[in-house]
């Protein structure tokens, strides 16, 4: 929010935006020359708008997804004993291996698994698990279980430390609210709820002069009150992001039988696929699906949630393939915790701990990674984690995005072997 | 030794002026108008603070609920007839019920939108805007979401509970919330039974509603969940039963529990009593109110003083709030304009500033939703984050879009008489002058006229987004 780069970039781009109005003050031209944005250069180099760098899509399953009923340990008696009502019957499980299989609502994900585009990481969690939604979500988003580090997101720190000159939409969240995970010190992320409406629209009769006036009114001025200064920078950043998005808007195809379901989550993934295909400079997308807090009557609700998720991921993968960009995209799911092994008396499950994560895309090493946590050796009725979530993050950072993970994660976490090696080697920038 | 909440005493060097009066009215209401600011300046801080705590009697429920009750009664009389046959009743045996259930759901869905419009109208027009500001505060504190409750009348009852106790006694409000049908459903305590505890309410009660994390253990959650068993809905047979509290001894776990170090055969009332006796509770409430009304980063000494007063007054809220609004600390330069207007505050304030009567509140409700605050649909049990979390590239444009729709008259007629000149518009909207360079830019772009463009630009500027 106080980044000189952002301001510099605004002035530079503001110059081109303002050119039509021919009102750009002279001092802007010098600042424009100072612009040095490697990501922009790469974008320019990738002639037809095809990005040549890997893109990450993070899918947040809010509320605490029931990992045990997502990736089902269908050979374990303890599972069936703990869940007389909610256990997925053995014959209905979509088998992945001799030991685990997917919930029957995940048929689209099963097809993707069979095509070799899904990696399941088992038993992901962290030490001393917290069963509060908010604290645990904060832990996953800050990657800081001790809570001693800065209150910034792990992806926000990615932009701060690895891309000092990157643009105002290096990260994009497809919702009105910006998740903590994406927040860093500099304004390099945007929250876009509706891509088609994104921008400053003058009133009727206001036209371009009104837009120009707005840009001048939000030029930061030294010595302003801190909050007004923050808002000025945010508005400026928003105008920059809108300018970028509007350039791509023409290429954002209409949803003409694209095969996505109509629900908002699917439609957001459709927009993500379109933006990636159109060559958007955005490197990390963040999409949420909520409602997983199934304390009561879990059966129907969780089935529908998983079906939505699976169908959306299936459509997304199919779309990426059609667009020829399946190898450029890695999608990762996470939830703040899994749920307790034993069902409760309300036909639901209470807050738990470790759960599987999904890594999906053309360049994952498909299959089951890690071993399923014990269903008998429990911690207060909950699973003991096998893999620290920060190891999954370090995998994504190092082997997919090609950056050093320890400055971002505040320590060294051994990456997992879930990304195909030639990608891991070439992802470095 | 000076106290953190010593009163503000006007002096020649530091007078009670329009800036301070507007600050008080902004924080305790929704977009004050020039004549209201003038009256507050004339009355002085003491009398103005007394006046804003004069709350009117209970409002009449909005008419939108007649529709809901009609559909519920039709469903219930159909069910009564079927029950008389003593045959099993479900959607397989009686598919015609599906339509009746769906109609009830549809009408609740329409009613909640109507209710939101009714509440927004009340925020804009109530003679006691602080009462509605506090209802909004409590809605974000004791959250319940229509998406889980599915009952617009239950949501209205909760809204009235907040209104009746807005600046009343926190202990009484908490007791009402523990028996509130929307809350019982939202946090599933209606499913919390002896031998089969459901921890949802027990946990959030401590984590979010009273003490905050770190003041209790996982065992306290489990033990208090047992104490809360049997605090439930009267029945599920009719809409009115589902909206009534009952304590059911049959499903209550009367066994001994250890909660926050105290052993006893506790039930829910004991749990509340023990929680209210903790130091953490007044501190938690004081801090949350300080963040909402004073500053996003309130001085710890202010929070301490508020907590002390709350405890001393046995949780009466009005004395604490009055002390705050009269304090010197409330008018410090780093406190004034330190808040980001929330979407509802922004929208209602804009309607008032434009002198609009009876605008299209449903569209405004939806617009505030796009800005991140959909009334009756808080994002999760922690409510809305507030502060700078309201602001990002997407929500900024949602605000500029609503401002455009409003000033263009698309959501109802705008009172043009309110804006003879650009300077008058600045005074009306900001209650303070703009910095000279901004004023110059704005005047240049608009020819000094209070045109639609000028109003839209003003409402889009950072200066209008702060309170």
For residue A186, what pLDDT is reported? 72
Distance from CA of A263 to the nearest CA of B (A): 16
Strand partners, A172: A190, A285
Nearest to A190 among B192, B340, B392 (CB): B392
CA distance B295 to B293: 6
B403, pLDDT greater than 80: yes
Contact across the interface for B453 and A241, Cβ inside 8 Å: no
B230, A392 Cβ separation under 8 angstroms: no
Question: Following DSSP, what letter does each residue of B81-122 receive, concatenated?
Answer: HHHHTTS--STTT-THHHHHHHHHHHHHHHHHHHHHHHHHHH
Place of tokens 């051994």: A414
For chain B, the distance separating the N- and C-terminal CA atoms, rounded to the nearest angstrom, is: 31
B454, A210 Cβ separation under 8 angstroms: no
Contact across the interface for A230 and B388, Cβ inside 8 Å: yes
For residue A234, what pLDDT is reported? 87
Distance from CA of B56 to the nearest CA of A (A): 35
Paired tokens of B394: 């997407």
Give alpha helix (H) positions in B126-193. 129-141, 146-149, 152-164, 170-178, 181-186
Give alpha helix (H) positions in B327-432. 343-353, 361-370, 393-407, 422-430
Chain mean pLDDT for chain B: 95
Residue A111, C-beta contacts closer than 8 angstroms, at least 6 positions apart: A314
For residue A427, what pLDDT is reported? 44
CA distance B34 to B430: 10
Q: Per residue in B366-381, pLDDT tens?
A: 999 989 999 999 988 8
Chain mean pLDDT for chain A: 84
Q: Write out residues in chain A with pLDDT < 50, as ranges.
A: 1-51, 425-429
Q: CB of A214 within 8 Å of any CB in chain B?
A: yes
B110, B67 Cβ separation under 8 angstroms: yes
Contacts of A191 in chain B (CB under 8 A): 392-395
Burial of residue A224 (CB within 10 Å: 0-12, 13-18, 19+) is: middle
Contact across the interface for B197 and A232, Cβ inside 8 Å: no
ipTM above 0.90, yes or no: yes
CA distance A282 to B97: 50
Interface A:B, Cβ pairs < 8 A: 173
User: Which chain A residue has the Cα nearest residue B337?
Assistant: A227
Mutation pick from B373, B383, B394 vs chain A, by most beta carbons of A within 10 Å, is B394
Three-state DSSP state, A286: strand
Task: Give 3-state DSSP helix, strand, coil % of chain B, rounded to 5.
Answer: 60, 5, 35
Where is pLDDT greater, at B78 or A16?
B78
Contacts of A134 in chain B (CB under 8 A): 207-208, 380, 382
Nearest to B372 among A176, A216, A351 (CB): A176
Contact across the interface for B400 and A200, Cβ inside 8 Å: yes
Q: Are strands A284-289 and A171-173 parallel, antiparallel or unpaired?
A: parallel
For residue B90, what pLDDT is reported? 85
Q: What is the mean pLDDT of residues B457-461?
A: 98
Contact across the interface for A296 and B389, Cβ inside 8 Å: no
Paired tokens of B167: 């600046």
Burial of residue B283 (CB within 10 Å: 0-12, 13-18, 19+) is: buried
Three-state DSSP state, A363: coil
Contact across the interface for A231 and B466, Cβ inside 8 Å: yes
Contact across the interface for B446 and A213, Cβ inside 8 Å: yes
Contact across the interface for A133 and B196, Cβ inside 8 Å: no
Q: Per residue in A134-176, pLDDT tens?
A: 889 999 999 999 887 777 899 999 998 887 767 778 899 998 7
Nearest to A199 among B208, B397, B407 (CB): B397
Residue A62, C-beta contacts closer than 8 angstroms, at least 6 positions apart: A137, A288, A289, A290, A291, A292, A293, A335, A336, B380
Q: What is the mean pLDDT of residues B2-13?
A: 94
Confidence of residue B89 (pLDDT cuts 50, 70, 90): confident
Q: What is the mean pLDDT of residues B99-127?
A: 96
For residue B359, what pLDDT is reported? 98
B147, pLDDT greater than 80: yes
User: Which chain A residue has the Cα nearest residue B408?
Assistant: A203
Contact across the interface for B198 and A295, Cβ inside 8 Å: yes
User: Which chain B residue has the Cα nearest residue A179?
Assistant: B389
CA distance A270 to A323: 12
Q: Are strands A284-289 and A55-61 parallel, antiparallel or unpaired?
A: parallel
Contacts of B381 in chain A (CB under 8 A): 133
Contacts of A190 in chain B (CB under 8 A): 392-394
Nearest to B466 among A228, A234, A380 (CB): A228
Lowest mean pLDDT among A159-173, A260-274, B120-134, B333-347: A159-173
Contacts of B380 in chain A (CB under 8 A): 62-63, 133-134, 290
Contacts of B387 in chain A (CB under 8 A): none
Nearest to B441 among A213, A234, A295 (CB): A213
Q: Which of A406, A427, A370 is nearest to A143 (CA)?
A: A406
Q: Per residue in B231-256, pLDDT tens?
A: 999 999 899 999 999 999 999 999 99
* CA distances (Å), origin A105, targets A101, A181, A326, B381: 11, 29, 24, 28
Q: Per residue in B148-189, pLDDT tens?
A: 899 999 999 999 999 999 999 999 999 999 999 999 999 999
Q: CB of A48 within 8 Å of any CB in chain B?
A: no
Nearest to B338 among A199, A227, A295 (CB): A227
């Amino acid at each position: 929010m106080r980044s000189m780069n952002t301001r510099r970039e605004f002035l530079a781009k503001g110059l081109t935006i303002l050119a039509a109005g021919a009102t750009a003050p002279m001092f802007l031209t010098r600042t424009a020359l100072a612009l040095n944005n490697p990501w922009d250069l790469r974008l320019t180099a990738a002639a037809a708008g095809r990005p040549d760098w890997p893109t990450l899509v993070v899918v947040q399953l809010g509320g605490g997804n029931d990992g045990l009923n997502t990736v089902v340990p269908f050979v374990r008696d303890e599972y069936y004993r703990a869940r007389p009502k909610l256990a997925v019957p053995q014959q209905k499980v979509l088998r992945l291996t001799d030991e685990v299989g997917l919930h029957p609502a995940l048929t689209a994900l099963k097809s993707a698994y069979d095509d070799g585009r899904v990696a399941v990481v088992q038993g992901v969690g962290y030490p001393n698990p917290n069963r509060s939604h908010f604290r645990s979500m904060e832990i996953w988003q800050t990657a800081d279980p001790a809570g001693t580090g800065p209150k910034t997101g792990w992806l926000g720190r990615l932009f701060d430390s690895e891309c000092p000159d990157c643009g105002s939409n290096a990260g994009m969240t497809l919702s009105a609210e910006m998740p903590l995970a994406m927040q860093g010190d500099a304004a390099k992320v945007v929250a876009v709820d509706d891509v088609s409406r994104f921008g400053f629209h003058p009133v009727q009769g206001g036209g371009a002069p009104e837009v120009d006036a707005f840009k001048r009114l939000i030029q930061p001025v030294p010595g302003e009150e801190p909050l007004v200064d923050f808002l000025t920078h945010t508005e400026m950043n928003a105008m920059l992001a809108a300018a970028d998005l509007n350039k791509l808007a023409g290429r954002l195809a209409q949803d003409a039988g694209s095969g996505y379901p109509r629900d908002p989550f699917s439609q957001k993934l459709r927009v993500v696929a379109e933006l990636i295909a159109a060559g958007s400079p955005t490197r990390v997308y963040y999409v949420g699906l909520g409602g997983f807090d199934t304390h009561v009557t879990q059966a129907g609700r969780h089935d529908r949630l998983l079906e939505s998720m699976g169908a959306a991921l299936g459509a997304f993968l199919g779309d990426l393939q059609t667009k020829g960009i399946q190898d450029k995209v890695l999608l990762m799911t996470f939830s703040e915790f899994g749920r307790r092994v034993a069902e409760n008396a309300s036909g639901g499950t209470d807050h738990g701990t470790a759960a599987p994560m999904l890594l999906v895309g053309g360049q994952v090493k498909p299959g089951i990674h890690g071993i399923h946590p014990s269903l008998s050796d429990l911690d207060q009725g909950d699973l003991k984690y096998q893999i620290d979530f920060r190891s999954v993050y370090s995998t994504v950072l190092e082997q997919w995005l090609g950056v050093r993970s320890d400055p971002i994660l505040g320590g060294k976490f051994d990456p997992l072997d879930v990304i195909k090696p030639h990608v891991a080697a070439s992802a470095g920038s | 030794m000076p106290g953190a909440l010593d009163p503000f005493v006007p002096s020649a060097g530091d007078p009670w002026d329009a800036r301070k009066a507007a600050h008080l009215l902004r924080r305790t209401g929704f977009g004050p108008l020039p004549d209201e600011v003038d009256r507050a300046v004339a009355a002085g801080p003491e009398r103005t603070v007394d006046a804003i705590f004069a709350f009117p009697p209970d409002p009449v429920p909005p008419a939108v609920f007649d529709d809901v009750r009609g559909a519920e009664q039709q469903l219930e009389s159909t069910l009564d007839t079927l029950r008389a046959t003593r045959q099993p009743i479900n959607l397989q045996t009686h598919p015609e019920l599906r339509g009746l259930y769906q109609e009830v759901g549809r009408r609740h869905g329409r009613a909640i939108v109507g209710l939101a419009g009714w509440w927004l109208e009340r925020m804009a027009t109530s003679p006691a805007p602080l009462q509605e500001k506090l209802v909004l505060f409590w809605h974000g504190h004791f959250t319940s979401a229509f998406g889980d409750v599915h009952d617009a009348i239950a949501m209205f009852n909760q809204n009235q509970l907040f209104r009746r106790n807005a600046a009343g006694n926190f202990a009484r409000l908490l007791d009402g919330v523990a028996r509130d049908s929307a809350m019982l459903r939202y946090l599933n305590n209606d499913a919390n039974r002896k031998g089969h505890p459901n921890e949802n309410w027990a946990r959030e009660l401590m984590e979010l509603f009273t003490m905050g994390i770190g003041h209790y253990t996982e065992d306290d959650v489990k033990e208090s969940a047992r104490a809360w068993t049997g605090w439930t809905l009267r029945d599920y047979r009719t809409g009115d039963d589902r909206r009534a509290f009952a304590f059911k001894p049959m499903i209550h776990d009367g066994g001994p529990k250890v909660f926050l170090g105290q052993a006893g055969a506790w039930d829910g009332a004991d749990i509340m009593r023990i929680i209210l006796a903790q130091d953490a509770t007044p501190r938690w409430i004081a801090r949350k109110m300080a963040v909402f009304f004073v500053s996003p980063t309130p001085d710890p000494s202010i929070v301490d003083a508020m907590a002390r007063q709350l405890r001393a007054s046995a949780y009466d809220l009005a004395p604490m709030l009055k002390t705050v609004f009269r304090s010197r600390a409330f008018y410090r330069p780093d406190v004034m304009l330190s808040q980001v207007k929330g979407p509802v505050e922004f929208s209602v304030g804009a309607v008032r500033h434009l002198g609009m009567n009876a605008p299209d509140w449903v569209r405004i409700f939806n617009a505030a939703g796009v800005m991140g605050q959909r009334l009756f649909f808080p994002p999760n049990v922690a409510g809305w984050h507030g502060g700078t979390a309201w602001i990002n590239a997407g929500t900024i444009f949602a605000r500029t879009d609503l401002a455009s729709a409003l000033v263009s008259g698309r959501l109802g007629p705008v009172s043009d008489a309110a804006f003879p000149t650009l300077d008058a518009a600045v005074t009306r909207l900001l209650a303070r002058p703009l910095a000279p360079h901004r004023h110059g830019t704005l005047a240049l772009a608009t020819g000094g006229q209070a045109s639609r463009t000028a109003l839209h630009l003003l409402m889009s500027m950072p200066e209008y987004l702060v309170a």
